Amino acid sequence: MSTLVSILLVAAAYLIGAVPWGVVLGNLHGVDVRNQGSGGTGATNTLRLLGWRVAGSVFLLDFLKGLLPVVVARWLEAPTWAIAAVGVATVIGHCWPVYIGFKGGKGMATSGGAAIGLAWWLVLLLLPMIGIVYLTRYVSLASICAAIVAPVIAVVVSMMGYLPWSWTIAIGSMGAIIVLQHRSNIQRLLNGTERKFGNREVPSTAT
């Protein structure tokens, strides 16, 4: 595969990742999720405002927009660096989407999809994440923990020779983006004012 085609794949991955499904589905229900709740465009804020059905759809779509570009790049036998860049590009697109003024979500679902596309066994991190949410009711804490642990595991696997280093760097980059995007959550966690999972808010609908 030529370098030009690889670059086009990365650009396409950004544009796919930039589709703000939380905003799209929220608007279909008369709610702009960017202006209510936490202001996030992802599944957690959508759940808070619109319930499980809409939030589940947002999560699945955000996850798939991270996973599918990586799967396609691997199927096309793109260079390992290009596959890694495709994964990171989807997350950058989600967090800084061109379609809505470069103000997007925090990237957890999209990063999860992209990371699992690179290393399927990272799906096992879902179990401790669910445990953290169950015990603390803080989705943000589970996300931050996964963002830190996944790169550490990837480094170990790369040292064993089972994962390209470029993919480990991509997983680390996605983890760093997640932590960066959660910096306000980290401050609220330290202050004891973080929103808890499952708390509903009644949104004001557009007229």
| Token pair of 155 as six digits | 């480094």
Alpha helices for the chain (secondary structure H): 3-17, 21-28, 43-50, 52-75, 80-95, 108-118, 126-136, 139-159, 165-181, 183-191
Summarize the confidence of residues 168-174 as an average pLDDT: 98
| Token pair of 189 as six digits | 């966690």
pLDDT digits (tens, 9 = 90+) for 7-51: 999 999 999 999 999 999 999 999 999 988 778 888 888 988 898
pLDDT digits (tens, 9 = 90+) for 63-118: 999 999 999 999 999 999 999 999 999 999 999 999 999 999 999 999 999 999 99
pLDDT digits (tens, 9 = 90+) for 144-169: 999 999 999 999 999 999 999 999 99
Residues near 51 by beta carbon (within 8 Å), at least 6 away in sequence:
200
| Token pair of 203 as six digits | 């949104």
Output the pTM of the full model: 0.91
Give the separation between CA 39 and CA 47, rounded to whole angstroms.
12
Question: b or e along 25-56 (b: 16 or more beta carbons within 10 Å of the residue's beta carbon)?
Answer: bbeeeebbbbebbbebbbbbbbbbbbeeebbe
Average pLDDT, the chain: 93
Rounded to 5 degrees, φ, ψ at 76 are -80, 0
Q: How many CB atoms lie within 10 A of CB 91?
A: 33
Give the separation between CA 109 and CA 95, rounded to whole angstroms.
11
